[in-house]
Amino acid sequence: MALFQTSSDNPAAQKSTALAVLSVAFVLVWLFIAAFPFLWTAWGSFKAEGDFFSRADWMNAIAGPATTAQTGGAFTLDGYRGAWIEKEFWRAAMNTGIVTLCVTMISLTLGTLGGYALARSGFRYTFWILIAALVFRAMPHVTLVSGYLLPFFQLNIWGYLPTTIIVLVAINQPFTLWMLHSFFLSIPKDLDEAAMVDGCTRFQAFRLAIIPVMWPGVVTTGLFSFLLAYNDFTTTSMLLTETNATMIPKINSFLGSTQEEGKVMYAVAAVVSAIIPLFVLIMFFQRQIVSGLTAGAVKG
Amino acid sequence: MTHKEFMAFIWPSLLAMALFIAVPIISVAYQSMFVEHEQIMIETETCGPFGCTPEVAVDQDAMRKVREDSPAGRFNGLDTYTNSSHLATDEITEIVATSENFGEIRDRIMNLPFYKALIFTLSYTFIVTPLVIVFGFIIAVVVNSIPSFLKGPVIFFSLLPMIVTPLVGSLVLFWMIDSRGVVGAFLQYLFADPSLSLKASPTLTWVTLFVYGVWHSAPFAFVVFYAGLQTVPSDTLESSMVDGANRWEQIRFVVMPYLLPLATFVALMQLMDNFRIFEPIIGFSASASATSLSYLIYTDLREAETPLFGSAAATSMLTIIGVIILLLPVLFRNAREFNRKA
Amino acid sequence: MKFKLTTALVACGLAMSTTAALADCGIEGGSVRILSNDFEALHVIADAAKTCANDSVEVTSNATTEHKNIQVPALTTNPASYTVPIVATNSIVPLLNEDLIRPLDAYVEKWGQQLLPQQLIKVDGKVMAIAFMANAQHLFYRKDILEEHGIAVPGTYAELIEASKMLKDKGVMEYPLAANFKPGWNLAAEFVNAYLGTGGDFFKAGSAELDIDNANGMKTLETLKAMTNYMSPDYVTYDTNGVKPIWEANELAFVTSWGSRASAYIGDDSPAPEIAKATALAAMPALMDGGVPSAALWWDGFTIAKNISDEDAEASFRAMMKGISPQVIAENQELAVWLVDGYAPTPAADGVVANLQGKARPYPMVPYMGLLHTALGDNVIEYLQGSESAEQALDDITAAYNTAAKEAGFLN
């Protein structure tokens, strides 16, 4: 964990204050570029549409003359009120909660088992399975989803959350497999082999020796599975009914086929409020990413 | 690991992929070789709120029998692949035969929809992918060196470009880059050109899409590299310091080789994702200047009133083949490594 | 509590009384499942139809922008997942091609007394859909600017372009004109509008063979190109959502856009009230002197799925009769240009009504029109941007259309 930390007991750090300044500047610039559009959106979500999407002068988004004219104050909660109360965005938020939680858990369960097997088996077909997974991933989702429609309607499983969950798990599986396979390769073979010498079966070895040290990889992969399910539009918009819609199709329905005055701000407010749980989540799991593998591997 | 153990671990994953990806791919491949039956038409009169007009309609009774006999349609072999909306082999032969010089050949081929889309797709893939890897790596190294109490917020904000749904992300960004928007106005000021419009010029539209691509995907590379950096063994680093390596040498000779497998992974995923670029084209209304293979599929399947399943299937298969060709170098390397390991 | 009312009473205008006496619409039983696009006028209809629900009648609706992609697979299964697909001039075509909707003549006769003859969409003599809304693109103009500069309301594209030139030359506005020119569906719709104004047909009579590679096609392309001279170069991104804010920012004198947006342009709740007050609507300009307004007329209507039980079909039809009843429409006059009995056009309908009075032509409902629409959407922009000739653009359109039509089985 001592990597590049600018503490005084690190000999390499002392001669590189210039580099430290440079890297701080770099982080600041990057943070600005990364976060500016979102911060702009978050600020704008408290304004009226005429200000945030002002053509006359972008400064209106900061000062908010139309917001003042329409609501009497410089800030308004109309977007949030419209999205959460009038349009019942909480329903979509709940659906998203169910879908993302299930997708992440199932993806990771299947992915860790499969990824572990792929990393530990030396047979030739594992290589071909990995290649096949890559080819599967190359398929454009638009085509895949259009192909699902007819069979799903025939089986009468279209429009329900479990169907969408399974589809998202499957579509995401090649990525999960590859990523976890790479992470398992970096875990020393001796760990589980030693356990098996001690008389464990393969599965016990996996459970006792590997599971304790695999969390950084799993958390990182889980983050991507989570984001995929959370942000998916192609699949959810085609496979869910209006009542079962997750957040992203719901936000799209605020925009509608033609944007109605004010509704766009519902979408903006919805996006901003949808980010908050992610903030909590990442703050919580970033410790896992940082502290997991190194600590585990040393102890193991 | 025995075959039996291997299967016990991997079957759920394989089953999911087989059912929801492999079977659809096979059916798409099959479908791409068929076209619709010849439609039997009848002349009718269509009446509506705006009066009656003589029109034609599909003769349902006649078509029902034909469709029942062979539901997949008429076998067309690979003709859909070679027609003028895809590889356009006949058109290219003709262009080569009748053009005066290379420039004309190039211009006329670029007018064919498939090649026009392919050029943008490839440019996007080969410009965005390396930039994503480089930026992601730099961000990861730098973020790794900041004090740990700042890491959480920094990681969160670094992830924002990936988190904010592209649906609204592009809506807001599209507004910001408008010549009246905050970014557009800033660029006009920066280049002292009041007529600068990122939306109108084809070149600037391409640049905008590239920048968006790097911005959107750099966090992915960042997270993977950052997680990888946590696993770099500290004793190796320390011994390199004892040997007098400076920080650049540390990165170059210790960290980079260690992260190489992850870089391969990021490259693989990014090559694929970028080759399938689609959403930004819709989000930035860029279809006037930039079309991609996935965009062609989208227009065949979604925008069209009458979906062209065969045509979309053929483009999808060509996309897969394109990805395989792109990945060949990486695959060969992996195969060699695999053989060494096995 | 269930009221037993005869159908005769329902039809005879008892519905006009505002008591909730008709809450159960007289339907005995069945399931009504509506699939529609996602905009306000359709929500109103679906909500009204839902008032027919009771213990034995189930009414659900799914309003989604993906309705076009869902409808064919959803109706192919037996029983169909939706009983009432709400369609428009273009989206009914796939349902007709695949034989997924049923003739409505018997239902119209029994329960459709409220319908006007103009609402019946007949194909081959059979009623296949019931229209309830009309839509078309038309001209929006700023009457204050036109008055100030002594410009008459343009009746033809030539006049529109001349007026735009005048405003540009006088320095009033740099780009006085805007239209939905984004490549893809929007630009294709503009081509269709203008081409209909030439009086020509898209296809050779009775066949799927394209017939636009001629003087009419050239005239259409040249007109579109002339318009772009007075539009901001950003026109390549203009769709109906993109143009409205520019209008409200006082940067445009003319827009051609959809009638369904008119109430938002001239409404009191517009974010730019002064501009909304100065906005006036007129028919789409004619392409030829003395020609019809060059706008395609569209309708929105409902159909009933074929693969459902007769009970469900009956319930669906009757619930939709409730949904588009004159009473419901009377309460929502401003939401659309309704085709329903008793509708009194609001000021927002001026443009569409002017199109209708000018005898604008309907959007063609032929099975292969969608293929042409896609081909147009992809191949006009290069000509407008000046990177290829009009002849080349027409060739490209023809090539793209022919390839698609061959694949769909309409051409050999």
Partner residue opposite C241 with nearest CB, options A241, A253, A259? A259
Task: Pull the structure tokens for residue A44.
Answer: 């704008």
pLDDT by residue (tens digit) across C250-261? 999 999 999 988
The answer to whether A53 contacts B27, with C-beta atoms less than 8 Å apart, is no
pLDDT at A289: 57
pTM, entire model: 0.90
Cα–Cα distance for residue pair C14/C8, rounded to 1 Å:
9
Q: Do the first three CATH levels of C7-134+298-350 and C137-296+368-407 match, i.e. the same topology?
A: yes
Supply angle C-alpha B198, B203, B205, rounded to 5: 40
Q: What residue spans define the domains of chain A? A: 11-79, 82-299
**Is the four-CA dihedral A193, A194, A195, A197 of positive or negative sign?**
positive
Residue showing tokens 């007819």: A150
Partner residue opposite A153 with nearest CB, options C65, C77, C240? C77
Mutation target to probe the B interface, by most B beta carbons within 10 A, among A7, A19, A30, A230 is A30
The answer to whether C364 contacts B55, with C-beta atoms less than 8 Å apart, is yes
pLDDT by residue (tens digit) across C204-228? 988 899 999 999 999 999 999 999 9
pLDDT at B341: 62
Residue showing tokens 């000999």: A11
Partner residue opposite C39 with nearest CB, options A70, A153, A258? A258
The answer to whether A256 contacts C38, with C-beta atoms less than 8 Å apart, is yes
The answer to whether B46 contacts C182, with C-beta atoms less than 8 Å apart, is no
**Count of all residues that appear for chain C in the document:** 412
Cα–Cα distance for residue pair C76/C53, rounded to 1 Å:
25
The answer to whether B219 contacts A252, with C-beta atoms less than 8 Å apart, is no
Cis peptide leading into B261, omega within 30 of 0? no
Following CA atoms A240, A244, A249, A253 in sequence, which dihedral angle do they give, to the nearest 10 degrees? 110
Cβ of B316 under 8 Å from any chain A Cβ?
yes
What CATH number has the domain spanning C137-296+368-407? 3.40.190.10
The answer to whether C96 contacts B58, with C-beta atoms less than 8 Å apart, is yes
Bridge partners of residue C87, in order along the sequence: C301
The answer to whether B276 contacts A146, with C-beta atoms less than 8 Å apart, is no
Question: Using an 8 Å Cβ cutoff, are C113 and C91 in contact?
Answer: no
DSSP A89-119: HHHHHHHHHHHHHHHHHHHHHHHHHHHHHHH
Cβ of B163 under 8 Å from any chain A Cβ?
yes
Residues 6+ apart with CB under 8 A from C158: C289
Cβ of B175 under 8 Å from any chain A Cβ?
yes
- The interface pTM score, or ipTM, of the predicted complex is 0.89
pLDDT exceeds 80 at position A102 = yes
Residue showing tokens 């800030």: A75
User: From the CA of A253, how many Å to the nearest CA of chain C?
Assistant: 7
Cα–Cα distance for residue pair B91/C352, rounded to 1 Å:
44
pLDDT by residue (tens digit) across A129-163? 988 998 899 889 989 998 899 899 999 999 999 99
pLDDT by residue (tens digit) across B217-226? 999 999 888 8
Cβ of B1 under 8 Å from any chain A Cβ?
yes
pLDDT by residue (tens digit) across A236-272? 988 999 889 999 888 888 877 777 777 888 888 988 8
* Contacts C77 to A, Cβ<8 Å: 150, 153-154, 156
For chain A, percent helix, then strand, then coil, each to nearest 5?
A: 80, 0, 20
pLDDT at A288: 66
Following CA atoms C227, C233, C238, C243 in sequence, which dihedral angle do they give, to the nearest 10 degrees? -80
* Contacts B201 to C, Cβ<8 Å: 233
User: From the CA of C5, how many Å to the nearest CA of chain B?
Assistant: 31
Interface list for A 92-111 with B (CB within 8 A): 109-111
pLDDT at B331: 78
Bridge partners of residue B34, in order along the sequence: B75
pLDDT at A252: 84
Question: What chain A residue is nearest to C271 in terms of C-alpha separation?
Answer: A50
Rg (CA), chain B: 26
Q: What domains appear along chain B, each with residue ranges and CATH number?
A: 79-104 (no CATH), 116-341 (1.10.3720.10)
Mutation target to probe the A interface, by most A beta carbons within 10 A, among C33, C39, C61, C62 is C62
Cβ of C272 under 8 Å from any chain A Cβ?
yes
Q: How far apart are the first and last CA of chain B?
A: 12
Following CA atoms A77, A78, A79, A82 in sequence, which dihedral angle do they give, to the nearest 10 degrees? 120
pLDDT, chain A, mean: 83
Cα–Cα distance for residue pair B96/B93, rounded to 1 Å:
5
pLDDT exceeds 70 at position A4 = no
The answer to whether A283 contacts B152, with C-beta atoms less than 8 Å apart, is yes
User: From the CA of A22, how many Å to the nearest CA of chain B?
Assistant: 9
Low-confidence spans in chain B with pLDDT less than 70: 168, 341-342
**Superfamily grouping for domain C7-134+298-350:** Periplasmic binding protein-like II (3.40.190.10)
Cα–Cα distance for residue pair A115/B340, rounded to 1 Å:
20
Mutation target to probe the C interface, by most C beta carbons within 10 A, among A242, A246, A253, A263 is A242
Q: How far is CA B94 from CA A123, B97, B160, in A?
A: 50, 5, 50
Low-confidence spans in chain C with pLDDT less than 70: 1-24
Cα–Cα distance for residue pair B239/B76, rounded to 1 Å:
66
E-assigned strand segments in C37-136? 57-63, 84-88, 120-123, 126-135
Residue C298 is given by DSSP the state E
Mutation target to probe the A interface, by most A beta carbons within 10 A, among B165, B217, B299 is B165
Question: What chain B residue is nearest to C88 in terms of C-alpha separation?
Answer: B305
Q: How far is CA C404 from CA B86, B89, B300, in A?
A: 11, 16, 9
Cβ of B30 under 8 Å from any chain A Cβ?
no
pLDDT at B175: 80
Interface list for B 62-121 with A (CB within 8 A): none
- Where does residue C17 rank: exposed (0-12), middle (13-18), buried (19+ CB within 10 A)? exposed
Q: What residue spans define the domains of chain C? A: 7-134+298-350, 137-296+368-407
Question: Using an 8 Å Cβ cutoff, are C116 and C130 in contact?
Answer: no
Touching B (3+ Cβ pairs <8 A), the chains are A, C
Cβ of C91 under 8 Å from any chain A Cβ?
no
CA nearest neighbour of C72 among A245, B305, B41:
B305
Per-position b or e across A145-163, b if 16+ CB within 10 A of its CB: bbbbbeebbeeeebbebeb
pLDDT exceeds 70 at position A11 = no
* Contacts C234 to B, Cβ<8 Å: 178-179, 197, 199-200
Cβ of C269 under 8 Å from any chain A Cβ?
yes
The answer to whether B22 contacts A23, with C-beta atoms less than 8 Å apart, is no
Task: Give A82-299's CATH code, choosing from 3.40.50.720, 1.25.40.80, 1.10.3720.10, 1.25.40.10.
Answer: 1.10.3720.10
Following CA atoms B187, B192, B197, B202 in sequence, which dihedral angle do they give, to the nearest 10 degrees? -100
